[in-house]
Amino acid sequence: MGKEKKAKNIFSIVGKIFIVLFLIVEIYPVFWILMSSLKPTQEFNLTPSYALPVKPYFQNYAKAWIQGKMNIYFGNSAIVTIVSLFFIVLLGTTSAFALTKMRWNLRDKVMKIFLSGIMIPTAVVLIPLYSMYHGLGLLNTRLSLILTYIAFGLPLTIFLLRGYLVSLPDDMIEAAVIDGASIYQIFTRIMFPLMKTGIVTVGVIQFYFRWNDLIFSMTFISDTKMKTVQTGLLYFSDMYGNRDWGAIFACIAISVLPTLIIYIFMNKMVIEGMTSGAIKG
Amino acid sequence: MVLPAFLIFIGVIFVPIVWTFVYSLFSGMPGLNFTYTGFSNYIDMWSNKQTLDAIKMNWKYIAFVTPGQVGLGLLVSLMMYFSVKKYKTLARTIVFIPTILPTVAVAQMFAKMYEMVPNYGLINAILDAVGLEKWVQPFLGQSNTAFGALVVMDIWTAIGFYTVIIYGALVDIPSELLEAARIDGASGIKLFTKIVLPMIKTIMITCMVFSFTGTIKLYESATALTKGGPGNATTSMTMNMYQNAFLFDQYGYASAVAILILVQCLLVTFVINRLGKEKY
């Protein structure tokens, strides 16, 4: 017994050391970005890149924000993400409600079609979408991104919200119908408040997916004034990346900060949201 | 309200899939020299060196990255499950951070870590500091190291995601089951293969499918890290499609490549799910 216990202890200690080292490997690069974004560019020539900044130098952020046009990209990303998020939630909740709690003819077929959308790789729709938006004059507009994001956001949203709705009892709806409530009242007064957690989770996942998109914004947007943070960051690093290390690190930090801040405040929600798609899908 | 949602969905996803298929039967550029050529694009693919290279590279990438992401995720989650007691939530929260970072930002960050000119990046600086100067090299400038650099980055980003999912499944294993097995004398590897693995089989398959559908679509991380270079060393199938469409104006041919990606995606997902059902 004693020997076994000893072996177990050693295993536990080795495991702990392994986990700690692993956590450092996972988190140190992020710390390195934040530290490097506070160094003036010349400092990279003088000290090794893992050294901490001698004195915090915030000028990099001003440069990234104005000269790097991060202010424009950031604004575009914010508008596109928030607007599509609004519509994903609006259309997603109502559709999920109609597809689980209401009875109509083609319901199951429509549901199946929506759910099959989860599997579709973006590559398959890229060329026709480009032609379509070109024909409609939508290239270089925010609308092209918003429409695409809504369409790609809906399948997973409807799927996850259906999971929440199925578990809600029908009696409540029946009682409301007997009391003379209309379908819209049932939805806004009863279902919507009950779906709150589900909606927040879905919103958080979609925020991450849409904020992080590269392939669509790269394809549909070529005008600098319309670029999003991700395309803007790529563009900036192509232009100045090699010469101005301080500024590029500040740009990276700016693009990372919103996602990091949301994560710090809502990490439970984020983890649950991001993994629920995988577990249930 | 279903109607507007359904219309946007059909318009942006379903119509384009059919449209891509129709395009794939033509050659050239719509409006200029678009001619119906039947399935010849699908035949030409097998003699197009760039596309073949992209297919090979993409599958090599999957062969490293999917086992890497899921396997290391399993390893870390087991370590966490069996040896971390107090700071479980903290460990889980930290492990997940790379998952939430934008792909482009991660790629730019790694590009700077791998850098050699004008300044040593993080990795070269560390190699230099510990006396391994001979290993200092432009990691992204050589085809063999660029591929490895991409693989390392994409595994780094996703381990936490799979760790959290698999960890969730481990926690759900009833502890009486583990206790009973221990009393029967099972320990270590035997405990793992006979009790733990069968219990988390479903979630492992889900993880494989998830990782696979992510890796076969490889585009954003490689574009942001290496732009597919040096040469075509890190050009994926989606990147090959993108080049053919938007650089060479070969919409027909590019559409055929896109359909090929879709078919592979559906086929392999189907096979993994099937295998998962048959075993055990």
Chain A residues near residue B211 by CB distance under 8 angstroms: none
B5 within some domain: no
Residue B7 lies in a domain: no
Distance CA A90, CA B244 (A): 37
Chain B: residue nearest A242 by CA?
Answer: B118
B161 touches B70 (CB < 8 A): no
Confidence of residue A3 (pLDDT cuts 50, 70, 90): low
The answer on B126 and B149 residing in a single domain is: yes
- Residues of chain A with Cβ-Cβ distance to B216 below 8 Å are 121
Backbone angles phi, psi at B36, to 5 degrees: -70, 125
Same domain, B266 and B191: no
Q: Give the number of residues written for chain B.
A: 280
d(CA A150, nearest CA chain B) in Å: 8
Cβ-based neighbour number of residue A17 at 10 Å: 12
Q: B121-170 pLDDT, tens per residue?
A: 888 888 888 878 778 788 887 888 899 999 999 999 999 999 999 998 88
Nearest CA in chain A to B253: A127
Decide: B97 and A30 in contact? Cβ < 8 Å: yes
- Residue in the block written with tokens 């500091």: B129
Report pLDDT digits (tens) over A65-124. 888 888 899 999 999 999 999 999 999 988 888 888 777 878 888 888 888 888 788 888
Assigned CATH class of A69-280: mainly alpha
Is B42 in the same domain as B63? no
ipTM: 0.84
Percent of chain B exceeding pLDDT 90 equals 25
Give yes or no: residues B122 and B21 share one domain.
no
Is the pLDDT at B74 greater than 90? The verdict is yes
Residue B9 has pLDDT above 70, yes or no: yes
pLDDT digit string, tens, across residues B217-227: 899 899 989 88
CB atoms within 10 A of CB A90: 14
Please tell me the predicted confidence (pLDDT) of residue B67.
94
Interface of B with A in 132-151 (CB under 8 A): none
For residue B257, what is the enclosing H or E element?
Answer: helix B251-278
* Cis bond before residue B198 (omega within 30° of 0): no
Give the three-class secondary structure for B56. Answer: helix
Size of interface A-B (CB pairs under 8 A): 262
Is B148 within the bounds of a domain? yes
Would residue B9 count as lying in a domain?
no
Q: What burial class does residue B103 get, using C-beta atoms within 10 Å of its C-beta: 0-12 exposed, 13-18 middle, 19+ buried?
A: buried
pLDDT of residue A270: 83
Query: Structurally, how many domains does chain B consist of?
Result: 2
| Type and span of the H or E element at B93 | helix B88-95
- The pLDDT assigned to B210 comes to 86
Which pLDDT score is estimated for B278?
A: 62
Q: Which of B218, B4, B261, B19 is nearest to A154 (CA)?
A: B4
pTM of the model: 0.87
- Reported as a single tens digit per residue, the pLDDT across A24-74 is 988 898 898 888 888 887 777 777 777 777 777 788 888 888 888 888 999
Domain containing residue B272 = 16-47+249-280
Listed by start position, the domains of chain A span 16-57, 69-280
Task: Please give the pLDDT value at position A241.
Answer: 64
Cα–Cα distance list, B222 to A252, B16, B85, B97, B218 (Å): 17, 25, 38, 20, 7
- State the nearest Cα–Cα gap between B204 and chain A, in angstroms: 10
For residue A281, pLDDT over 70 is answered with no
Taking the C-alpha atoms of residue A12 and residue A20, their distance in angstroms, rounded to an integer, is 12
Question: Any CB–CB contact under 8 A between A201 and chain B?
Answer: no
Is B52 inside any structural domain? no
Q: Are residues B76 and B194 in the same domain?
A: yes
Residue B77 lies inside a defined structural domain of this protein: yes
| Residue corresponding to tokens 């997603």 | A92
At residue B24, does pLDDT exceed 60? yes
CB–CB of B204/B70 below 8 Å?
yes
For B45-56, the pLDDT digits (tens) are 888 888 889 999
Query: Judging by beta carbons within 10 Å of its beta carbon (0-12, 13-18, 19+), is residue A24 exposed, middle or buried?
Result: exposed
Three-class secondary structure of residue A208 per DSSP: helix
| Nearest chain B alpha carbon to A234 | B224
CATH number at residue B123: 1.10.3720.10
Q: Residue B112 and residue A113: Cβ atoms within 8 Å?
A: no
Residues B76 and B166 in one domain: yes
pLDDT > 50? residue B235: yes
So what's the pLDDT on residue B14?
A: 83
Q: Which helix (H) or strand (E) holds B35?
A: strand B35-36
Strands B26-27 and B35-36: antiparallel
- Inspect the interface and report whether the beta carbons of B1 and A30 lie closer than 8 Å: no
In a domain, B67, yes or no: yes
- B32 has a pLDDT exceeding 80: no
CA B201, CA A79: separation in Å to the nearest integer? 42
Rounded CA-CA distance B204/B219 in Å is 24
Q: What pLDDT shows up at residue B61?
A: 94
Looking at the fold, whether B193 and B274 belong to one and the same domain comes out as: no
Confidence class of residue A1 from pLDDT cuts 50, 70 and 90? very low
